[in-house]
Structure 1
Amino acid sequence: MNYEISGKTLEAASEKSCIKVFLLLISSIVFVPAAYVFVAAVFIASVPSSAFNHKAAQDEFVLVALYCVTGVLFSRYRLISSAFAAMFGLCMFSYYLFFSSINAQDLQKAKKLLFMVSIIVFLIGIAQFLSPDFSMPSKWVDAGQFKLSRRIYSTFYNPNVFGFFINFIVIMACEKLDLRNPGMELAAMVLGLVCLFLTFSRTAWISLIASLLAASLFDRKYLKYAAFVSAAIFGSDALLGIGRVSPTRAAGDSSFLYRIEIWKACLNIIRDHFFTGIGFGTLFKHISSYSDAVKPNIEHCHNIYLQVFTETGAIGALVASTLLYRVVCAVLHNIKASRQKETWVTAFAVLSMALIHGTVDSVLLTPQILLLASMYAGAMKRLTIDN
């Protein structure tokens, strides 16, 4: 009798944990402020029971903690930097929730839920484009180079952030895509590609194609996906005469030229704060001292590598590089050794996309994408534990 009661209790606890994870997943895609409020509440509720003490992730926790300390300790604006450190902490807790609360079967349910929510988000994006009342900030496109009046973003606040999310979903859909038995994967991929084109995010376009080509090193089916995406995106761009991928137009695009000015200013900041950086989230406090061309309200470096070095210096860059090295090694090891090779090839494609995308944008470090990336990393950690 006692065994049955404890078994039912554990099952109920497991179901409760799954509900938390699923709610977090939905809210992070639909309305990210609610997701952070929710995960903060779960974290506070977990503190008294010490429920988040898990040896399987001690190394990751230590590295992220060191990175956060670096980003706050040497900042001249510690209140601002502390807020960003808290964001990293909540993302790390989300990572923990995913690998500690659900099993392999629950992960499959989470994947189906991800596709369902994504399809809804894609439909919202298409509705945005078709809405006669839709408008966008003028800074999102160089009107002198491109005749664009609309770039969709759905629930992601920015087309480039939305493009990153779409890439993630398309790569996930490719893993089990079966044209003979169409399902949510096919719907997510088709709608996702439509939305990806309508973001007009060249970084998202190129990083998706490049990551699919990278994945083809381990599974040749990704070559046909890369060819299809290339034909769909570049063909539509040429057919509609938009020219987003035209080298000539790109060279004269004010957004690209502006990025160069930001990168030059960041390199100068790194020169003056080489070891410690300037602290999380404080670029806008420093940038005007290093560039007359860059507006003082700039939020990030438009390059994740420069951003890490600018904010946390050589110390933080070393910590981040160590964490990245561990991730890359784990992914490559599991591609060779795991019984779920397909899933790890997908992880390799996602990682490749993020690293390529990060060369010209800092989307990975935005609150919405960082939270989603943390949950995905937690799900992959769960697979390593189960194996």
Structure 2
Amino acid sequence: MVVKSNKSLFGIFLILILALSYAFLSTKLFLGLSILLIGGFFVLYDIKIGLCGLALAYPFLPDMVNLLAFLVLGFLIFVRKIIYDKEDFKVTKFGLPLFLFFIYSLINTLTSVNIMGSIRDLALNTAGLFFVFAMVNSLEKKEDLNVFVSLLLVGALLAGLVGIRQIFTGVTMRPEWTDVENSQNIAVRVYSVFTNPNIFAEYLVLMIPLGVGLMWQTKNMKKKFAFLFALGVLFLALLMTMSRGGWLGIFCAALVFILVVDKRLLLLGIPAFILLILFLPDSILNRFLSIGSSVDSSILYRLKMYGITFQVIRDNFINGVGFGYIPFKQTFESYIRTMPIYHAHNTFLEIFAEGGLIGITIFLGLVISLIKNAYAYLCKSSDKYIKYLGAGALASIFGILANGMTEHILYMPRIIFSFWILVGIILSLIRIEIKNGGEVSNDILRKETIIPLRENDESI
């Protein structure tokens, strides 16, 4: 926080900077700088405004603006907590997997076959970790987190509406998006603001279960219908991405949510799934039935890619080729020059190739920790809001990991940020549950091992 006089001085300074920027910078840079500076003003007033504003806006902002915003928010909350609030920090069992992931990514960057190439992914994931830190240390009440998640879903709805619009206006179809011989009836694959339908599908797989969790917990019928409308838009957009990996992801997410919330819903889910298939357009149904096809060119291309990736893993088994897609791309193309690729189209193979046995172990440890703690603290909570939003978040994890069997989910900046936002939601919910005195939380909390950095703080 700042006093009024300081706010006034900052406001005058902000206007001067914007005026000079408008005179000397391009329109794109001016808009990006304007968003950062205006956002900075609100962050100084209340950092939760910055967090919630970015949750709404990040799908539509340039990657560089997002990177700076995510880094700055995390840095500001760290400085405020340490210097201004004089609070103390410790690394608990919740934060330890994140800390290990950061250390791994830093070392894997320094030992990379292309250090400068690895710095790109190091910066993006560090920004995501900073944002998790900012979320957990700022969104300390259910009301705060509810506003954050609601605005996150409003942003998703806007992106979904852009995708729906593309169904009617049409988009340019790139040859690599479909198997020309076996998918001739596909007229459009929507991608909204994400440049690629598969990337848009990944984003939707992350967002839809969160929306289902919020819809499930509310007893207000008007809100339920509003959520149903929004989820209908997002689901239709997901269908029209024609992403088989996205469909697989949302199916797994739905299954996990049902198993956690009420297994009896499986009895309704089976006939609903059959009815959905009966009424699907031929283009979508044929695309769905092509999963596992032995003649689909994109599947055959992936299988060949996986085989070469296994060779990369075998030759760099312990510590991999280096953090990020650029070292992998460089190494992969030294094995075959006629197959230019950006990543392995499989998150687990990609991370194994990039980080070796060490990297994949740390990543799986992080994922298992999230799943275990989300289930123990959130899905078992007596608080309906925490339970159902937690179930949605847990379903998102399983959904995006299933999607990660056909795509590398930690490749594009906005999906990297979306993944870390999901992590932040889970850890924020866990902290709120602990503060509310959840029975499971307290039993585990008394037994946990804590590595103190400074004393007397509950930060995750």
Counterpart residue number, 1:386: 432
For the 8 Å contact 1:212–1:223, the answer to whether it is kept is no
Shift in alpha-carbon separation, 1:88–1:241, aligned structure 2, 3 A:
closer
Q: Which residue is 2:22 aligned to?
A: none
Counterpart amino acid of 2:328? L
Gap regions ≥5 residues in structure 1 = 6-11
Q: CA deviation at 1:58?
A: 4.3
Matched, 1:223 2:266: yes
- In 2: Cα distance, 1:317 partner to 1:19 partner: 36
Match of 1:258 in 2: 301
Q: Distance in 1 between matches of 2:117 and 2:246?
A: 29
Would you say 1:361 and 2:403 are equivalent positions?
Answer: no
1:101 alignment partner, SS class: coil
CA distance in 1, matches of 2:309, 2:299: 15
Give 2:226's match in structure 1, choosing from 175, 184, 188. Answer: 184
TM-score, normalised to structure 1's length? 0.87
Aligned positions of 1:240-259 closer than 5 A: 240=283, 243-247=286-290, 250-259=293-302
Alignment partners' CA distance in 1, 2:425 and 2:113: 36
1:209-257 superposed Cα distances (whole Å, 9 cap, x missing partner): 1221122222237537855873576345454576102248833211111
1:215 and 1:222 in contact (8 A); partners too: no
For the residues of structure 2 that align with 1:372 and 1:248, how far apart are their CA atoms?
A: 26
> Using the alignment, how far apart are the partners of 1:189 and 1:278 within structure 2?
40
Residues 58 and 122 (structure 1), Cα distance of their counterparts in 2 relative to 1, 3 Å cut: closer
Show CA shifts across 1:258-308 (max 9, x none). 11111111100011000010112212211122235522xx11111111011
The one of 322, 336, 347 aligned to 1:304: 347
Q: Is the 8 A contact 2:244 2:287 kept in 1?
A: yes
Q: Which residue of 2 aligns with 1:28?
A: 58
3-state SS of 1:363 partner? coil
| Cα separation, partners in 2 of 1:160 and 1:329, compared to 1, 3 Å | same
Give the alignment partner of residue 130 of structure 2, picking from 85, 93, 104: 93
Give me the whole-angstrom Cα distance separating, in 1, the residues matched to 2:98 and 2:89.
10
Aligned AA for 1:351?
A: I
Q: Secondary structure at the match of 2:407?
A: coil
Q: Which residue does 1:83 correspond to in 2? A: 120
My pick for the range that moved more, 23-32 or 200-209, is 23-32
Contact 2:58 2:414 in 1 (8 A): yes
> Where does residue 37 of structure 2 map in the other structure?
none
- What do residues 116-155 of structure 1 show as CA deviations (whole Å, max 9, x unaligned)? 22222111111122115x2132111111110223211101
1:317 aligns with 2:363: no
The residue that corresponds to 1:66 in the other structure is 103
1:118 aligns with 2:162: no
Task: Answer whether contact 1:207 1:353 (CA < 8 A) is retained.
Answer: yes
Alpha-carbon shift at residue 48 of structure 1 (Å): 5.4
The CA deviation string for residues 162-210 of structure 1, in whole angstroms up to 9 with x for no partner, is 1122223321222224795444311111111211111001111122112
Give, as a single letter, the amino acid of the residue that structure 2 aligns with 1:343: L
For 1:376, which of 416, 422, 426 is the aligned residue? 422
Residue identity in the other structure for 2:387: K
Alpha-carbon spacing, 1:353–1:59, altered in 2? closer, same or farther (3 Å):
same
Q: Using the alignment, how far apart are the partners of 1:117 and 1:164 within structure 2?
A: 15
- 1:344 CA drift (Å): 2.2
Residues 257 and 293 (structure 1 numbering): CA distance in 2 closer, same or farther, change over 3 Å? farther
Structure 2 residues not aligned, in runs of 5+: 5-41, 434-460
- Equivalent residue number for residue 349 of structure 1: 395
Cα distance in 2 for residues equivalent to 1:357 and 1:268: 23
Residue 107 of structure 1 is matched in structure 2 by 145
| Distance in 1, Cα, partners of 2:69 & 2:105 | 21
Q: Given the alignment of the two structures, is residue 138 of structure 1 paired with residue 181 of structure 2, yes or no? A: no
Query: Aligned-pair distance for 1:39?
Result: 1.9
Whether the 8 Å CA contact 1:152–1:199 is kept in 2: the answer is yes
Q: Secondary structure at the match of 2:181?
A: coil
Question: C-alpha separation between the residues in 1 aligned to 2:158 and 2:131?
Answer: 23
Q: CA deviation at 1:341?
A: 2.1
CA offset at residue 30 of structure 1?
A: 1.8
Q: Deviations over 1:334-381 (max 9, x none)?
A: 223553322222222111112211111112443211211212211221
Tell me, in whole angstroms, the C-alpha distance in 1 between the residues paired with 2:290 and 2:431: 46
> How has the CA–CA distance of structure 1 residues 325 and 170 changed in structure 2, closer, same or farther, with 3 Å as cutoff?
closer
> In 2 relative to 1, CA 352–42 (structure 1 residues): closer, same or farther, beyond 3 Å?
closer
TM-score scaled to structure 2, two decimals?
0.74
Report deviation, 1:15.
6.2
Q: 1:152 & 1:255 partners in 2: Cα distance?
A: 18
Instruction: Report the residue type matching 1:366 in the other structure.
Output: M
Aligned-partner Cα distance in 2 for 1:241–1:342: 31
What is the distance in 2 between the residues matched to 1:21 and 1:112?
12
Counterpart CA distance in 1 for 2:231 and 2:267 is: 14
CA distance in 2, matches of 1:351, 1:271: 28
**Which deviates more from structure 2 when the two are superposed, residues 236-245 or residues 19-28?**
236-245
State the aligned residue count.
374
**1:155-234 → structure 2 map (5 Å cutoff):** 155-175=193-213, 176-177=215-216, 180-181=221-222, 182-220=224-262, 223=266, 226-227=269-270, 230-231=273-274, 234=277
Quick one: distance in 1 between partners of 2:162 and 2:375? 36
Q: Matched residue of 1:245: which SS?
A: helix
Contact 1:261 1:294 in 2 (8 A): no
1:17 deviates by 1.1
Match of 2:380 among 318, 331, 336: 336
Secondary structure at the aligned position of 2:190 is classed as coil
